[in-house]
Amino acid sequence: MDTMFTVEESNLICIFAGEGRNEVIEDIERAIPYLDDPFLTELSHRVIGRLRDMTDDEFAQLELTAAE
């Protein structure tokens, strides 16, 4: 698997970490209408796209840790 997420992308995924890839995508999609920051909106759309491009098995192998 060659999917590498930036620190910001990883942190966003960690915020919405759930049971699986589809749940994370759905949770981020639900939050987008409430975002007032263009950077966070763009980041959210980028992360959703990258998550959609990977398989559930690839997602399960991710070692995501939120940065301090």
Unique residue bearing structure tokens 């399960």: 60
- Please tell me the predicted confidence (pLDDT) of residue 62: 86
Helices (H), 1-68: 7-15, 21-31, 38-52, 56-61
Confidence of residue 58 (pLDDT cuts 50, 70, 90): very high
C-alpha–C-alpha distance, residues 34 and 10, integer Å: 20
Q: Which amino acid is at 59?
A: F
Q: List the one residue out of 52, 54, 5 whose CA is nearest residue 29.
A: 52
Convert the pLDDT of each residue in 21-57 to its tens digit. Answer: 999 999 999 999 999 999 999 999 999 999 999 999 9
Q: What is the pTM of this model?
A: 0.86
